[in-house]
Amino acid sequence: MGGHHKKNLRAEKAKVKLKGAKLPKGLNVTKTDFKVRKIEIRTQLKESVLSANNGQRQLNLKEALSRLKHHNLKFRTDALRNVRDAVKAGQAGHLIGHLNELLQGIAAGALDIEQEVRRESFKTLDVLLEGLPVEAVVPFFHIIAAYLRCAMTHVQPSIQEDSLLLLDVLLQRVPSRLLAERSASTIISNFIDMISRTRHDTQHTNRLLTVRLSQGQLTTIKWRTKVLLRLQQILCTLLQQNSQTNSRDSTAGRVVHYDATKVQYYNVLRPQPLDNRDLYSIVGERMRKAENEQLLGYVEQLMPLLHDNWIEVRPQQQQQQLNQLLNADAADSLNVILVIMAQLWQLVLQYEATQQDSTHELSDWMRRTYAVSFMRTFLQDSNYPYQQMPLAASAQSMRGKKAKKLKTPAAGGELCIAQNLTLVQLVCHFWPQPDDDQSEDYGCLLYYIHQCLRRLATLSTDEQLRLVAALRALLLDNGLALLQLQAHRMGTVMQACIDAYVDQQYTTREGISTKVLNLLCQIVQRVDLYQGYGAEEQFAKFLGYLPQLLLKPNVADVTLTAMSTLCRQQNVVFMTALVESASEVFENLGRLLVTGDSCSEESRFENQKRILNLFYHARKCGDVNQLQATLKQVEKNSPENIASYLKSIFSYE
């Protein structure tokens, strides 16, 4: 060891010492005359780089995917933010080839024990689904749905609660068709498991509500309402999907199956059926339950739970005798419970409307099973109409942030208008043929509807939509039966409805005014209802106003159909008003459009002929000489096709 050290010392001493010496001038200058060649990275590496706009180092895509599974909290959140920033920067198209691993890593964040990671994963998934086309997401949707089901059934209450946020993302970004076909039935069953458990002591299929132990600031009532709100949205997607499917089926040709017991009329040609299902629907067809079995399962599980939930929330019998008002939680719970019941009824009625044999077995079963308990729980044993505590009184019992939340009233406000109107519609569904025992209950409902029509200007758009639905159920669907029990109040409500429409008190938002017009047109076309409400004496104001709709820029097809029916029925009031407005109608004929018209010349002329046919029936009403003079003027100034058609129909006797 020593000898080796001495050799090193001698070697160091033998080196040339430059201390104090100066280098020759010019040797310490960097040479810049050499040539360089730029290195270009091809697209195989360019697509795998995620941009970071926050000053952090850029992450490779594989590195970001690996960090999504990292044990460190900061690494996982940073990876999620990097993916989100890359999508916002317009690089979503570069990620399509890695969607399997990417969605696997992001959706797995829904089961993370840290709340921050869960919230970041939901934000990233929201941005990613917004930036990607639907066709790219469809093959991998089962990954997101699987993690959603795992989160909804997780043992940790906090993960269960945050799973609702993941569902909100899917409801907003995923088309209703995809969500309804792939996961609606499973998600609904998971919703039911979140607020109830299976009954083990009996053989009944109904379930027991579960009590949520204190986790954070959510009480049991608020937790159930939060879950039921998402269930309401899922049922809404099912309704939208069914309505779209029914509309496509209605546009196709009519298919009639042979029945030897009935008189039937057949098309000349049977339309060729087209199978537009995707691979998932075809493969899972055998595993999927029939639609009637699914609906039956939904109703059997949900209806008892909704009843029991309201029994727990509503004021007790002793308090109801003192006219106890609903608190904010009870009002919110009542609103979502009634809306879900109404959606279940709509699903059942939609299903029965599509059946070839026009069966009503499912709706009849619902009435036999739940009608009596529904009337007792929601109407007879309660203080109808429902009202909520004043917000100021409720705020005094709350502190801090809770008091601020009460500034936004619950659905229906302090008067609970939305809840009361939905209850009217449900009563009509459960008791379509009322007898003397329900006469008093229906009298109370009709009085409340009349009060709502008197203060129609103060109702919101949602409340007016529910009012129109309640009017349709009362005046049209159950009209004949109720005219036998409450003829006077039914006439009063009908007159108030007509006055409100003619005075243009209904809002035009969401097509509310058009829906009221369609309702009145359907009523006047039915002879039994038209006579039952008082015929011309009741509808004179509406029939006199009806021709004024032909002076507007557009008119609905159902309105033209109602006018044609009235003319064929020789309704003198309507035809007289039509003749009085003949000159204005003919002047507006060239500009008038029918709702749903294809705007082609052929279709427009067909609709113009429908309007001209009205005057053929009304040619002997009103001032005949004035009508003849108007018609001659039209023949001179109108296009040749209209003039010739008008001349031909009036020459026909």
In the chain, what percentage of residues exceed pLDDT 90? 21
pLDDT band for 466, please (50, 70, 90 cuts): very high
The residue type at 508: T
Which H or E run contains 208? strand 207-209
Is residue 403 over pLDDT 60?
Answer: no
pLDDT at 322: 45
Is residue 29 over pLDDT 80?
Answer: no
Mean pLDDT, rounded, for 264-286: 61
- Higher per-residue pLDDT: 375 or 647: 375
Q: For the chain, give every domain's residue range.
A: 61-174, 553-652
Compute CA distances 634 → 547, 608, 621, 645, whole Å.
18, 13, 19, 11
Which residues have a Cβ under 8 Å from the Cβ of 184 and sit 6 or more positions away? 234, 237, 238
pLDDT digits (tens, 9 = 90+) for 139-178: 888 888 889 889 988 888 888 888 888 888 988 888 877 7
| The dihedral formed by the CA atoms of 441, 446, 451 and 453, expressed in degrees to the nearest 10 | 150
Q: Which of 461, 550, 469 is nearest to 510 (CA)?
A: 461
Which residues have a Cβ under 8 Å from the Cβ of 320 and sit 6 or more positions away? 314, 381, 382, 383
The structure tokens listed for 129 are 């689904």
Mean pLDDT, rounded, for 346-365: 84
pLDDT digits (tens, 9 = 90+) for 483-538: 999 999 999 999 999 999 999 899 888 889 889 999 999 999 888 999 999 888 89
pLDDT at 446: 94
Q: Which of the 8 DSSP states describes residue 174? A: S
- Residue 210 C-beta-side C-alpha neighbours within 13 Å: 15
pLDDT digits (tens, 9 = 90+) for 292-338: 788 888 888 889 889 988 988 888 765 544 457 888 888 999 999 99
Judge contact between 347 and 363, C-beta under 8 A. no
- Alpha-carbon distance of 345 to 351, in angstroms, equals 10
pLDDT band for 475, please (50, 70, 90 cuts): very high
Mean pLDDT, rounded, for 640-647: 79
pLDDT at 251: 46
What pTM was estimated for this model as a whole?
A: 0.78
pLDDT band for 342, please (50, 70, 90 cuts): very high
pLDDT at 176: 76
The structure tokens listed for 349 are 């009625």
- Higher per-residue pLDDT: 33 or 362: 362
Report strand pairing: 59-60 vs 196-198. unpaired
Q: Work out the mean pLDDT of the chain and round it to a whole number.
A: 79
Judge contact between 641 and 605, C-beta under 8 A. yes
Q: What are phi and psi of 471, to 5 degrees?
A: -65, -40
**Most confident range, picked from 71-75, 130-134, 388-392, 512-516:** 512-516
Query: CATH number of the domain at 61-174, out of 1.20.58.220, 1.10.10.60, 1.25.10.10, 3.30.420.40?
Result: 1.25.10.10
pLDDT band for 215, please (50, 70, 90 cuts): low
Is residue 411 over pLDDT 70?
Answer: no
Mean pLDDT, rounded, for 568-583: 87
The structure tokens listed for 640 are 């040749």
Report strand pairing: 196-198 vs 207-209. antiparallel
- Alpha-carbon distance of 96 to 141, in angstroms, equals 14
Q: Which of 64, 136, 70, 71 is nearest to 102 (CA)?
A: 64
* Alpha helix positions (H), 376-503: 391-396, 401-405, 417-430, 439-454, 461-471, 479-485, 487-502
Is residue 388 over pLDDT 70?
Answer: yes
pLDDT band for 121, please (50, 70, 90 cuts): very high
pLDDT at 372: 92
Report strand pairing: 59-60 vs 49-50. antiparallel
pLDDT at 600: 59
Which burial class, exposed, middle or buried, applies to 619 when counting CB atoms under 10 A from its CB (0-12, 13-18, 19+)?
middle
pLDDT band for 279, please (50, 70, 90 cuts): low
**Most confident range, picked from 109-118, 354-363, 392-401:** 109-118
Is residue 286 over pLDDT 60?
Answer: no
Is residue 398 over pLDDT 60?
Answer: no
Is residue 356 over pLDDT 80?
Answer: no
